[in-house]
Each structure stands twice: as structure tokens, then as C-alpha cells.
Structure 1
Amino acid sequence: MSLRLLEIFDAMMRSGTTVEAAEQLGISQPAVSNGIRQLEAQTGVTLFERLHRRLQPTEEAVALHEDIKPVFGLLRGFASRAQDMRQGISGRLRVISTPPLGHTVAPLAMRRFLKDRKGVSVAYDVRRLEHVVEAVQSGNADIGLALGLERHLAVNIEVIARTHMVAVLPKTEKSVGSTVSAQTLSRGDFIGLEIESRLGQLVRAAFERDGAPYNPRVEVRYCATAAVLVTAGIGTAVIDPYTAAFNRSIGIVERSFLPPIEVPAVLITRKGVPRSRLQHAFISEMRRALSDFQASGLQTGSEGSLRDEG
């Protein structure tokens, strides 16, 4: 039995005339009449009787319509849901990020993204870089965010911002000028990033370019951990500026690092899969949050505007 015939029957039951049913469905009046006749032939049941030039539903029609009402309620709900998805105001988005962006700028982008999208939910996770790439490649995440990765054979990589690593020192440590070199940091206790990590490799390479020995007193996995240890007075570190800005209030001083280490903030998506409206909307908010970060002066020591802006 054709769902289209049931749709014509439902429209007739709700409107009462072939003219109104045709208008609801966007078809001709003869198509409605023909559809009703086909349905009656298939079921062997008389559905409408003509009384005083009107089609009156029979008792059998009323009973059958009660049975199919839930079906069309679901279909109307489906159509409405699909329209919301098409407009980017409903659905579910899966985002995974490495900690430098996942614990700093990305939450601001998510807050803005969700603000006027009450029908949208987000699955959000913060993991190591290899886990982020794997999740996107396997289809377990729609969007990945990371630092320092510009090429990968298994996924699409798109640079959405560029920045530089910064040196962080305890507030109790006296420092001169707005820059700190690898040579200067190598003369004291230094907190290094895990050498297997992408950012750790970049920091080590910068020390080598400057001819400075790279001998970390402590080695950590995440930039946020390094910031905490700097606050505790254990040493200095070179970390990403996002983590530095969002941890400045706990007691660290930020300085430009020489030689400069440029790091791209990148978007990771699955190859061969078109982006949904939700993905486009979140990416737009992520770009805006990164742009606000750079414009706010947080990288050079001015606090507040990015954290508090809605």
C-alpha cells in the first residue's frame, strides 16, 4: 500500500474536502479523488460517502484514520526535524580537540555556537593528537582541533590561525625586556614538553637552532601541566599562547620566545565527507574566537576581553 495514498487519505480526513486536501498536498483535485478511489479499491472498504455534495467519512474511515494518525505525526516531526537540521538549528555535533585549544579557545566558540541553537547537542572530548586524528578518520568525530599539524595523509588539515609559542616564567622571577631566548632559559631549570609530542619536537628544534643545550629538569605531556609547574616555581617553560593566556591569573609571566616557533591552529575533518551546516557554523565560531584572541592583546599581556566577551 502506497504511503502517498495514505497521505491523501490523511489530508482528506483533516480537511474534509478534496479542494483543501489538494492545496495541502500541492496536487490537483482530481489526483486527490483518484487517490481515494485507489485506496478504497486496495482495502475493499468504502471510505467516503457523498452527502449533500460533500464527501462524508464513513465509520470505517474514522477508525482507520485513528490507526494511521501516529504515522503522520512522526512524518511531520521528521520533516520539521530535517528542516531544523538543514537550517543548522538542530542535530548533534561531535568535536574532539587537543588540550591547548580544547581547554581554552574552543569552549568559547562552543558557548557562542550553542547560544541560539536550543535543539543542538555536542559530544566534546579532549585527547592527545593521535587520538584526535584517529577519531576524525574513523568517523567517530565530525571536527578535530589541534596545534602544530599542517599535513596528514589520512585526514583533511586546514589552518585556521597562526600564532607563536611563548616563554612563561614564575612571577617571582625577575626578567628583563619583552623577550626571552632559548639560551637564557637553558641556563636555569627548564620544564620541557614530552619530546614525542609535536609541540615538544618544535621546542627542542628551536633550542638547537639557537645553539642552546636542551636539558629539561622536568618533562611533561601537556602545556597546561607545564604552566602549573611554572607557577609552583619549579622552572620556566615554552608553551602555546592560548594556554599561557588562560593560566596567567595563576601566577605566570609571559614573554615572547626567541627563536620564534610558529604554530598553526588547525581544523581536522574526514576526507570525502561534505560538511554539515552545524560543522560550518561551529568552524565559523572557532575562527571568530581565535581572531578575538589575537585582537584582544592576550598574547602580549592584556587580560579579560576574550574571557568575558559573550
Structure 2
Amino acid sequence: MSAQANTPATPVPSLLGANLICMASMLIWAAGLPAADFIIPLLPADQLSALRMALAALALLPVWALIEGPGAFRRANWLKGIAVGSLIGLGAWFLIQGQARSGAVTAAMISTTLPMVGIALEVVLDGRKLSVALVLGLLLSLAGGMMALDFKAGGMSMGFGALLCFCSVLSFTLGSRLTVTAFPGLSPIGRTALTISGAAIAVSTVAALGIAFGAPPPDFSAWGWKETLALLAFSVGSLGISQLMWIMSVEKLGIGLSGLHINAAPFYVMIILFLLGGRWDWGQAAAACLVAVGVLIAQGIIPLGKRA
């Protein structure tokens, strides 16, 4: 089944609407990155991932029940939801572990491979044909993503940490694709709530086992309102709301074309920091424009030549 399968219960956004939704998803996701700086040092990776997934699930489940009724919970395949959600949870855990070993620059660079991984999955699993426009759009998007990176923030490392970051990309991309294809009878809110809840169950089980075998339990004594708000932004916003909008765009555009948008994330982070008093970076603005051109060419919105 294609990752662009439609759901009868939910209207599918137009091509322009899907791109705008994907842009908004990346903007909200990017907003969680500065917020994460407040809380990553305060909790181990597995416990932070479990808390983040659980809060996102608690935000999404009532919305799902309100829109489709509590009976939607009973009709859902929770075992499959946990299985697919485990891939998303595993991707989040891989990313934290990989960034801790290799640095933010390496993690950001490896994340630019997401559209390549997504398109490769579509070629292998869906029989998608590569076109000149698609390849050119992918290359422009990758170039823009590389331009947007701040290599002065830290050195590159292509060791074990980079491998973990790439495992994160693989896991998250496959999990996102399966969120769309494995639940054809569910709406986007149902798919997202189910798989994020599955991720919360899986990651929380791992965190609980870690505590049972001697890991220290979480300590919230140093937390204040800033840390709490940062956690909500990192979980409900950057995961819950962002993932819902991401799945909506993947449903229309496919995982490969949606993934092109992730290369504009550094620009969105720069905008957020600029609004908080940081400096404007014209290089990142130009990089974001290059990503946008790549997205438009890959989707045929900007044609490469005259049509007959």
C-alpha cells in the first residue's frame, strides 16, 4: 500500500495545503529544540523519552475521543499500534543517544538524509519511479539543509554517534510511513494518537525496567515553571501537534516529499531564536529558500521545461 493512501473518514488536504501543513509541522517541531536544552540535562534519555511520549499521548487521546467518540479506542488495533509506535519511540531514543555522543551538528547533518531514506522506501516498497525533477529537488533540498547548518557550533563526528543518529532517521521514517499505511481505516488523529500512545507504552516499559534494575528514578526537585513549560513544548507541541500535522502531510505527499521539508528546520530555529533576541542569519534564510525551491521542483509545481 502506498504511503499516500487516503482515509475516507477525513478530507485529504490539497497539494498546497499539505505543503503548508508540513511547513507548520516542521516549525512547531523546531520550536521544541531550544526548549529541549532546558530539560535534556535533567533526565536520562529513556526517562525523558518516556515522559515526552506520555504527555503527547495524553494530549492527543482526548482529542481523538472528542472527534470520533470513545468507541474508536475499542476498535483500534492496539498491538499493531504499540509495534509501530515502538519504531517512533526507538527513533527518539536513538537521536538523544547519538547526539550525546557526536554533537548537535552531526545529528542535524544526519537528519538531512530523511528524504533520501523516505524516497528509497517508496522506490523499494511502492515501485516509485525516479524522475529528473524529483532527483533535482532532492539535491537542492539537501544542499539547502547543509547550508543551514552551523558548523561552528561543534565539530563533525562520523563515528558510533553518527550511526545512532542514522538509525534514528531509519526508525522514524519507517515508523511514520507505517503510521499511514498500517491503519487504513483510521483518520490522521486516530493514527497519530494510536502510534504515539504505542510509543509511550513501549518507551515507558523500557524506562521502568531500567529503574527496576538499578537506574535512579527521575528527580524533579530542580524543576521550575520554565522547565515545565519547556517540557510541554518539547512533548505536546514538538511531538504531539507536530506529529499529527506531519502524518497529515505524509498521507497526501508521501514520506519522501514530506521529508524534504525537514531541511528547512534550522531556518525555523533561527527565526524562533531571532524573535527571542538572537541574530538574523541571511545565510540560513537563503538556505531555506533553496529548500523551498527543491520542494516545489520535486513536486512539479515548478516545471523544468515547457509542457507540450
- TM-score, normalised to structure 2, is 0.22
Structure showing greater Rg = 1
1 or 2, which has the higher strand percentage?
1
**Normalized against structure 1, the TM-score is what?**
0.22
